[in-house]
Amino acid sequence: MKIRIQDLELRKQEFELAFQPGEIDFGVDVRQVGALRTEGHAELIREHHGGQHTVDDIRLIGKLEGRISLCCARCLETVEIPLSRSFDLLYRPLEKERGADEVAIHEADTEIGFYSGDGMELEDSLREQVLLAVPIKALCQPDCKGLCPVCGANRNQQACACNSGPSDPRWAALGDLKKKLQ
């Protein structure tokens, strides 16, 4: 859905949409399960920067809900994660920020996104919000045992008889300390 400045000059743009899997590309690691529902509105915020100079910012307020699946960080089984996230985002035209190579910014400026041309795509903002909601390491269960480093068997499903190999001799002193403490 395209959010255009000329439409926002007339009124806020309300949205209530459901995106089916495959409509938004989340990359190879994240897959959408079922519909991704979003609702909210976009509004124009016109900032006056002295004289006739104004900047047309787009404020995007809403929420999204859905489910995603990704691989467990330890055993590579599929993990489904529910998403429910609210957002309040501000986008500034990229053309207004061009100029000097290095510009000092304030902390508040780090919360601003950018759009180019006459508007922005809602799907781009939703992609960003979903990817920010993805955990760094998703686990299928808190006590996931992972894969055997020797044979590759899933230790949650079967025990393997693989020898983990000789231990590193540099840790031998700690092993002796552990035996003494027991």
Query: Which pLDDT value is given to residue 7?
Result: 86
The predicted model gives 52-57 an average pLDDT of 80
Please indicate, yes or no, whether residues 140 and 76 belong to a single structural domain of this protein. yes
How far is the C-alpha of 150 from the C-alpha of 98, rounded, in Å? 53
Please indicate, yes or no, whether residues 95 and 22 belong to a single structural domain of this protein. yes
Map tokens 């509105």 to a residue. Answer: 41
Please indicate, yes or no, whether residues 74 and 107 belong to a single structural domain of this protein. yes
Please indicate, yes or no, whether residues 164 and 94 belong to a single structural domain of this protein. no
- Sequence-distant (6+) residues with CB within 8 A of 76 are 147, 154
**Per-residue pLDDT for 126 more than 80?**
yes
Query: Which pLDDT value is given to residue 179?
Result: 86
**Per-residue pLDDT for 30 more than 80?**
yes
The predicted model gives 150-175 an average pLDDT of 82
Please indicate, yes or no, whether residues 8 and 81 belong to a single structural domain of this protein. yes
Please indicate, yes or no, whether residues 115 and 45 belong to a single structural domain of this protein. yes
pTM recorded for the entire structure: 0.75
- Sequence-distant (6+) residues with CB within 8 A of 112 are 57, 90, 91, 92
Query: Which pLDDT value is given to residue 64?
Result: 95
The predicted model gives 124-151 an average pLDDT of 92
Please indicate, yes or no, whether residues 33 and 113 belong to a single structural domain of this protein. yes
**Per-residue pLDDT for 124 more than 70?**
yes
Domain total for the chain?
A: 2
